[in-house]
Amino acid sequence: MLISTEEILSKSWNLYKKNWKNLSNYMLLIFLPTVILFILDTANTYLYSIFGPSKTAIGALALFFGLVAIGLVFMLWAAIALSRALLKLVEDQPLPHWKETFSQSNNLIWPVVYTSLLAGIIILGGTFLLIVPGIIFSVWYSFVFYIVALEGKTGMSALRESKAMVAGRWWGILWRLLAPAVVIGLGSSLIALILSAPFGLLVKDEFTREISTSIISSAINAIFTPLSALAAIALYASAKANPVSNLPEQTTPQV
Specify if 246 maps to a domain: no
How many domains does the chain divide into? 1
Residues in contact with 118: Cβ distance below 8 Å, sequence separation at least 6, in sequence order: 155, 156, 159
**What sign has the CA pseudo-torsion 104, 112, 162, 86?**
positive
pLDDT tens digits for the chain (255 residues)? 899 999 999 999 999 999 999 999 999 999 988 877 777 666 666 666 665 555 555 666 677 677 778 888 998 999 999 999 999 999 999 999 999 999 999 999 999 999 999 999 999 888 887 788 889 999 999 999 999 999 999 999 999 999 999 999 999 999 999 999 999 999 999 998 898 888 767 767 766 777 778 888 889 999 999 999 999 999 999 999 998 864 444 444 544
* Euclidean distance between CA atoms 187 and 215, whole angstroms: 17
Whether the Cβ atoms of residue 96 and residue 20 lie closer than 8 Å to each other: no
Specify if 252 maps to a domain: no
Specify if 247 maps to a domain: no
Specify if 249 maps to a domain: no
Range of the domain at 19: 5-241
Give exposure, 198-235, as e/b (b: 16+ Cβ within 10 Å).
ebeeeeeeeeebebbbbbbbbbbbbbbbbbbbbbbbbb
Specify if 9 maps to a domain: yes
Specify if 255 maps to a domain: no
What is residue 152's three-state secondary structure?
A: coil
Specify if 138 maps to a domain: yes
Residue of 119, 125, 117, 109 whose CA lies nearest to 166? 119
Specify if 157 maps to a domain: yes
User: How far is C-alpha 243 from the geometric centre of its chain's CA atoms?
Assistant: 24
